[in-house]
Amino acid sequence: MTRLSVNINKIATLRNSRGGNTPNVLEAAINCQKFGAQGITIHPRPDERHIRRQDVYDIRPHITTEFNIEGYPSEDFIQLVIAVKAHQVTLVPDSITQLTSDHGWDTQAHLSFLKEVVSRFKTEGIRTSIFVDPDSSAIEGAMEAGANRIELYTESFAKGYTVDPIRAVAPFKEAAKLAHQLGLGINAGHDLSLKNLRFFHDHVQYLDEVSIGHALIADSLYMGLRATIQDYLYCLQ
């Protein structure tokens, strides 16, 4: 079964908009696990506009499933991931000012850099995933860099799904097949939702994990966190 990792950044965004500690980010992480999520994802950014560095240290001791930290591999980020011994790190090519992730790595252009970063995490026993578009060159570069997994950036699928779902999912089917042939694990994320997740899961083979935040947290405002997580897990059966 494909695992569900819940990205709790939006919980932190809501907390930070008012100050204080409501909603409680740590409590949200604990509840996501309790309600069935098989992982917790966070994406700390340099400006701490949602997840703060202290959140990373506060949450880590309570994660009994999988702790996945996303981010651009600056030296500060690398040291943070190593310090808390995350189970998985997902490398994304975000700039400092970027609102949200909007493209995968050009792994060929950044191959030497990614090799060095992946090697450091592997030395610490941390599984490494590289965020990529459904592009054969990018996937091959991730393999050459020594990554354990890729995370397929799925925004183009989500946008195309409402127009022509078969066409929208086709590049991801081929990308997953190639990654599997190369010995890479396969994660996916960005704009996956209750509207499109089952279709994506049914058509893309070899999925190890999906990371979902924005849509899941938005759904939970109406349905509650427990029921929402159960609905997302049902899509992955």
| Domains of the chain with CATH codes | 3-235 (3.20.20.70)
Range of lowest pLDDT (40-49, 98-107, 226-235): 98-107
Catalytic annotation present for 70: yes
The pTM of the full predicted model, rounded to 2 decimals, is 0.94
Averaged pLDDT, 168-196:
98
Residues 112-138 have pLDDT tens digits of: 999 999 999 999 999 999 999 999 999
Paired with 188 in beta bridges are: 152, 210
pLDDT of residue 103: 78
Catalytic annotation present for 110: no
Residues 155-169 have pLDDT tens digits of: 999 999 999 999 999
pLDDT of residue 138: 98
pLDDT of residue 172: 98
Instruction: Check whether 225 has a pLDDT greater than 90.
Output: yes
Residues 84-96 have pLDDT tens digits of: 999 999 999 976 6
Q: Among the options 70, 151, 201, 209, which is catalytic? A: 70
Q: Among the options 50, 66, 151, 190, which is catalytic? A: 190
Alpha helices (H) along the chain: 9-18, 25-34, 53-59, 75-84, 111-123, 136-145, 155-161, 165-181, 197-203, 214-223, 225-235
Structure token pair of residue 111: 């191959």
Q: How far apart are CA 177 and CA 40, in angstroms?
A: 26
Q: What is the mean pLDDT of the chain?
A: 96
Cα four-point dihedral sign 68, 206, 163, 140: positive
Catalytic annotation present for 50: no
pLDDT of residue 94: 73
